Structure 1
Amino acid sequence: MKILAIDTSTHVMGIALAEDDKLLAEYTTNFKKNHSLRLMPAIQQMLKELDVQPKELDAIAVAKGPGSYTGVRIGVTTAKSMAWSLGIPVYGISSLQMLARNGIRFQGLICPFMDARRGQVYTGLYKVQGTHLETEEKDRIILLEDWLSLIKEKAEPVLFLSQEWNKHKDMVYKLVGNQAAAGGVYENQPRPEALAALAFQQGEAEPAHSIIPEYAQMAEAEKKWYASKEGRGYE
Structure 2
Amino acid sequence: MNILGFDTSTKAASVALLKDDTLVGEILINDKRTHSQKLMPMLESLFKLADITANDIDLLAVCIGPGSFTGLRIAMASVKAMAHAKDLKIVAVDSLESLAFNIADVDKKIIPILDAQGSKVYTASYKSEGSELIKLEEIEVLDIDDLLEKIEKNGEKTILLGEGVYKYREKIENNSLVSIPSPDKNISKASSVCAIALEKYRKNIDIHTHYDILPMYIRKSQAETQYEEKQRKMKEATDK
TM-score (norm 2): 0.90
Matched-pair contact (CA < 8 Å) for 1:106–1:159: no
Is the counterpart of residue 191 in structure 1 residue 189 in structure 2? yes
Task: Report the CA distance shift for 1:42/1:170 in structure 2 as closer, same or farther (over 3 A).
Answer: closer
The residue aligned with 1:30 is: 30
Shift of 1:48: 2.2
Does residue 95 (structure 1) correspond to residue 92 (structure 2)? The answer is no
Task: After TM superposition, give the deviation of residue 38 of structure 1 in Å.
Answer: 2.4
The answer to whether residue 158 in structure 2 is matched with residue 158 in structure 1 is yes
Please list every run of 5 or more consecutive structure 2 residues that lacks an aligned counterpart in the other structure: 236-240
Q: Classify the secondary structure of the residue corresponding to 1:212.
A: coil
Aligned partner of 2:53 in structure 1 is 53
**C-alpha distance in 2 between matches for 1:39 and 1:87:** 21
For 1:73 and 1:179, how far apart are their aligned partners in 2?
A: 36
8 Å Cα contact 1:132-1:201 kept in structure 2: no
Calculate percent identity across the aligned residue pairs: 29
Structure 2 residue 128 is matched with structure 1 residue 135: no
Query: Which residue in 2 is equivalent to 1:225?
Result: 227
Alpha-carbon distance in structure 1 between the residues aligned to 2:52 and 2:208 = 23
Distance 1:41 1:146, change over 3 A: same
Poorly superposed stretches of 4+, deviation over 6 Å: none
The Cα RMSD (Å) is 1.7
SS at match of 1:66: coil
**Per-residue deviation at 1:83?**
1.0
Deviation at 1:162, TM superposition (A): 2.2
**Contact 1:100/1:111 (CA < 8 Å) preserved in 2?**
yes
Task: Check conservation: 2:98, 2:196, Cα contact below 8 A.
Answer: yes
1:103·1:159 contact (CA, 8 Å) conserved in 2? Answer: no
Q: Distance in 2 between matches of 1:179 and 1:42?
A: 39
Task: Report the 3-state secondary structure (helix = DSSP H, G, I; strand = E; otherwise coil) of the residue aligned with 1:112.
Answer: strand
Q: Distance in 2 between matches of 1:168 and 1:220?
A: 21
What SS does the aligned partner of 1:178 have?
Answer: coil
- 1: CA distance, partners of 2:34 / 2:58: 28
Q: Is the 8 A contact 2:2 2:58 kept in 1?
A: yes
Asked if the contact 2:14/2:26 (under 8 Å) is kept, the reply is: yes
Task: Quote the Cα distance in structure 1 between the aligned partners of 2:212 and 2:147.
Answer: 31
Aligned with residue 215 of structure 1, among 211, 214, 217: 217
Query: Runs of 5+ in structure 1 lacking a partner?
Result: none
Counterparts of 1:56-67 in structure 2, within 5 Å, are 56-67=56-67
- 1: CA distance between counterparts of 2:54 and 2:210? 16
- 1:192-220 residue CA offsets vs partner (Å, 9 max, x unmatched): 11011101121322222221111221111
- CA drift of 1:74 comes to 0.6
Aligned equivalents of 1:53, 1:75: Cα separation in 2? 18
How many residue pairs were aligned?
231
Paired position in structure 1 for 2:238: none
TM-score normalised according to structure 1 size: 0.92
Superposed, 1:105-144 pairs within 5 Å as 105-144=105-144
CA distance in 1, matches of 2:163, 2:51: 34
Matched, 1:178 2:176: yes
Q: Compare 190-199 and 141-150 and name the one that shifted more.
A: 141-150
